[in-house]
Chains A and B, each alone.
Chain A
Amino acid sequence: DSGVTQTPKHLITATGQRVTLRCSPRSGDLSVYWYQQSLDQGLQFLIQYYNGEERAKGNILERFSAQQFPDLHSELNLSSLELGDSALYFCASSPGLYYEQYFGPGTRLTVT
């Protein structure tokens, strides 16, 4: 158990809908990362927050947004969902910048 929690574990929704994925980092970790992993694909970095502020942005679509709250938990919002958005979404946390990351169990999103 990495200490990072993600909810929900599974999510099935229809095209055009909007969903919110939630992540609670390990106690004391200030940085949160979001990744997308499609079937048999690598990890695509989406976005990073550090102590409430956006720190780095990767290949995140405009339909996706995220934020980190004062209690350091983070949410990833996915809107106008398309079939191609079906994937495993991982959240990871780290003590600070450039440190090792601890991954949550992921949220499996299925768009039908």
Chain B
Amino acid sequence: GQQVMQIPQYQHVQEGEDFTTYCNSSTTLSNIQWYKQRPGGHPVFLIQLVKSGEVKKQKRLTFQFGEAKKNSSLHITATQTTDVGTYFCAGPDTGNQFYFGTGTSLTVIP
């Protein structure tokens, strides 16, 4: 069946280091959305990318949607302790089925 995998599953970084999570779907997605879930919280929408090859930036966060619309990445520059949480990619396939990625849990060591 359809899967949206993210790697790595866990990442520990020193504060100030960069972080990247990769999202790979087995089928084409209509768009890609990124969410952040803090420990004990609910997922919070970060951004949506729609076009093939699209790149968007939010301060220290850079999001990219692959040319084939099957993969995406989130890169955080100079991590801070406030970046701690689990990052999920998500998106609908062409049949309206919505998929969340497996998530990457980020720990930032002060």
Contacts and interface: CB of A to CB of B under 8 A. Distances in A.
A101 B101 contact: no
Given A33-B98, A56-B98, A90-B42, A42 B31 contact: no
Contacts of A56: 92, 95-98
Interface residues of A, number: 23
Given A42-B102, A42-B103, A101 B45 contact: yes
Nearest to B102: A42
A102 B30 CA distance: 19
A58 B42 contact: no
B33 A48 contact: no
Name the interface size band of chain B.
20 to 34
A33 B92 CA distance: 12
Nearest to B103: A42
Contacts of B33: 100-101
A58 B45 contact: no
A58 B92 CA distance: 12
Contact of B42 (A42, A55, A100, A104): A104
Contacts of A58: 97-98
A57 to B, nearest CB: 8
Interface of A: 2, 33, 35, 42-45, 48, 55-56, 58, 90, 92, 97-106
